[in-house]
Amino acid sequence: MSKALYRKYRSKSLDEVIGQKHITDILARAISQERVSHAYLLTGPRGVGKTSVARILAYEINGLPYDENSINLDIIEIDAASNNGVEDVRDLREKVQIAPVSAKKKIYIIDEVHMLSKAAFNALLKTLEEPPEHVVFILATTNAEKLPATIISRTQQFGFRPINIDDAVKHLAYIAKQEDIEITEDALKLIAQRSEGSFRDSISLLDQLSSLIATDDKTKITTELIESVLGLAPSNMIDQILEAVETHNLALVVEILDRTFNEGVDNAILVAQLTANIRNQIATKPQLLPLLDSLIDVSKSPQPQLKLLSVLGLAATPRQAPNPKSVALSAPAPEIKVSVAKLEKQITQEKQTKPAIPDSKIKKSTKTDIDKFDWDKLVEYTRQNYIALHSVLSKCKHQLNGTELTIYTNNSFYKKKLDDTKYSPLLSKCLQDIGVHGLEIITLPTAPPPKDSQAAAIAAIMGGGEEVSLESA
């Protein structure tokens, strides 16, 4: 059975550890000067080398060559996730009194130490504070905030950093070359980005992809292959969404989102791709900061898919200029320092001197193409192109009054649908597609009023109703 790449290329000395030079240099210097602490605490995110450094450190403290496959009786690894009870720690306290078999120091590596129970921590505290001279503790955890302060204060703490993308790409390229794996530069970078600073995750993904191309008659790992395997939206689609937001093309935003959902792209992954893309260009496009801030809240919503549509829809909707009347009313009234007689005289002079504007120069308001409007044609167009919109529109009635198109939805549910940021721009687009421009759309959650005045009066008394025609048999 072949060995996993992350195990095959695991560091075997402090010099080989990638991306943690701020830690390995200090540890190497301390060992060379024989200034070994009685307890170390290694903290940081997953897959960045904590366990590897703990093992290497244990061997180098004892002056032994590190071999992952060898077993040393004086280097004991404990998984706190499965040995987290107070009895386990009491057993450890008894065993630490026993001198090492052959090495200089007996070293206990406790991985995921934050998993110990409160009672277990209390039992460990005294031993950790005053261990025998021949014992060294190396604790490792991804959740340092869960450790009691009394434990942290009795150790030398070293914080591991996420692996930066450049280091990850360089090391992945080295492994790919050693394993004869064909991969593009863009694919290497995408693997590093998707691993979010975890070296182990990036190497495991490379291993998975190399197995895929070996069994699927592919010769090279590309970004398209990675996007397919991980269920990512294509990078050009992410660019299209942000471009549509910046150009206020709401219809295109809705169309692309529908496409991503239909293709099975997970909402959380899509949000992560959008935020990463915005983060990379925020220095040159600070106008995207509000969108970035809103995207952070999408995952907290009970309906993240609708929340994402709302966030992108609002960002793509152009902000309307403030109403001049409201601005004028909000401004403080200027103080008038002129008499009424003087104002009347000034107005009379202006009327006499102001030239008259010929009628031909006065711009008349244009009228929409009302004669082109056909409700049945609109409903049929939606049936052929936007079946979801058609399912709502086909149940509605309408009334055209000048440039106002009133749609009677019969209930508040359908009104809410038509007013939604997904359907409203589609309805406007459909009108334009059938050649009708400039209509103001009004939606009402009621049936159309009866045309007969007497019937309208009765409907008003009865609290509403729908007019129907009765044909004689």
For 49-58, what is each residue's pLDDT tens digit? 999 999 999 9
**Looking at the domain assignment, is residue 389 inside a domain?**
yes
**Looking at the domain assignment, is residue 242 inside a domain?**
yes
**Looking at the domain assignment, is residue 365 inside a domain?**
no
Average confidence (pLDDT) over 145-149: 92
121 and 225 together in one domain? no
Of 472 and 169, more confident: 169
Average pLDDT taken over every residue of the chain? 83
286 and 402 together in one domain? no
**Looking at the domain assignment, is residue 322 inside a domain?**
no
Q: What whole-number percentage of the chain has pLDDT above 70?
A: 82
**Looking at the domain assignment, is residue 347 inside a domain?**
no
Q: Scan for tokens 């060992």, then name that residue.
A: 31
Predicted pLDDT at 453: 53
Predicted pLDDT at 464: 54
Q: 218 falls in which pLDDT band (50, 70, 90)?
A: low
Q: What is the pLDDT of residues 404-440, one digit of tens each?
A: 889 999 888 888 888 888 788 888 888 888 888 878 8
pLDDT > 60? residue 30: yes
What does the DSSP 8-state code read for residue 397?
E
Q: Scan for tokens 């010769």, then name that residue.
A: 219
**Looking at the domain assignment, is residue 351 inside a domain?**
no
Predicted pLDDT at 215: 67
The DSSP element (H or E) to which 416 belongs, if any, is helix 412-419
List the single range of 348-357, 361-370, 430-439 with lowest mean pLDDT: 361-370
The DSSP element (H or E) to which 42 belongs, if any, is strand 39-43
Closest CA to 257 of 187, 315, 302: 315
108 and 17 together in one domain? yes
CA gap 451, 340 in Å, rounded: 53
Predicted pLDDT at 69: 76
38 and 135 together in one domain? yes
> How many domains is the chain built from?
4
Average confidence (pLDDT) over 70-98: 85
9 and 140 together in one domain? yes
In terms of residue numbers, what domain contains 416?
370-462
Looking at 187, 213, 230, the residue that finishes a domain is: 230
293 and 405 together in one domain? no
Predicted pLDDT at 366: 45
Of 459 and 30, more confident: 30
List the single range of 136-140, 213-217, 448-452 with lowest mean pLDDT: 213-217
Average confidence (pLDDT) over 252-279: 89
Average confidence (pLDDT) over 330-337: 50
- Helices assigned H by DSSP within 84-160: 86-95, 118-129, 149-152
429 and 295 together in one domain? no
Q: What is the pTM of this model?
A: 0.61
Q: Tell me the one-letter amino acid at 46.
A: R
CA gap 54, 50 in Å, rounded: 6
Average confidence (pLDDT) over 196-205: 90
Predicted pLDDT at 363: 39
The DSSP element (H or E) to which 235 belongs, if any, is helix 235-246
pLDDT > 80? residue 105: yes
414 and 440 together in one domain? yes
402 and 429 together in one domain? yes
Q: 162 falls in which pLDDT band (50, 70, 90)?
A: very high
List the CATH number of the domain containing 12: 3.40.50.300
pLDDT > 70? residue 345: no
CA gap 341, 331 in Å, rounded: 26
Looking at 117, 134, 159, the residue that finishes a domain is: 159
13 and 150 together in one domain? yes
List the CATH number of the domain containing 437: 3.30.300.180
Average confidence (pLDDT) over 305-330: 72
Calculate the alpha carbon distances from 325 to 78, 204, 335 in Å.
Answer: 74, 63, 19
Q: What whole-number percentage of the chain has pLDDT above 90?
A: 34
Q: 355 falls in which pLDDT band (50, 70, 90)?
A: low
**Looking at the domain assignment, is residue 355 inside a domain?**
no
Predicted pLDDT at 191: 93
List the CATH number of the domain containing 218: 1.10.8.60
List the single range of 82-86, 136-140, 341-345 with lowest mean pLDDT: 341-345
User: Is the distance from CB of 311 to CB of 296 less than 8 angstroms?
Assistant: no
Q: Scan for tokens 């044609």, then name that residue.
A: 377
**What is the CB-side half-sphere exposure of residue 246 using CA atoms within 13 A?**
12
Q: 1 falls in which pLDDT band (50, 70, 90)?
A: low
Q: Scan for tokens 């008394």, then name that residue.
A: 461
Predicted pLDDT at 388: 84
List the single range of 93-102, 235-244, 350-359 with lowest mean pLDDT: 350-359
- Paired tokens of 397: 């009635």
Calculate the alpha carbon distances from 100 to 32, 49, 103, 268, 401 in Å.
Answer: 21, 26, 6, 51, 96
139 and 26 together in one domain? yes
Looking at 298, 316, 334, the residue that finishes a domain is: 316
- Helices assigned H by DSSP within 297-386: 304-316, 324-330, 340-353, 375-385
Q: What is the DSSP string of 175-224?
A: HHHHTT--B-HHHHHHHHHHTTT-HHHHHHHHHHHHHHHHHTT--SB-HH
288 and 215 together in one domain? no
**Looking at the domain assignment, is residue 330 inside a domain?**
no
Q: 83 falls in which pLDDT band (50, 70, 90)?
A: confident
Average confidence (pLDDT) over 228-253: 90
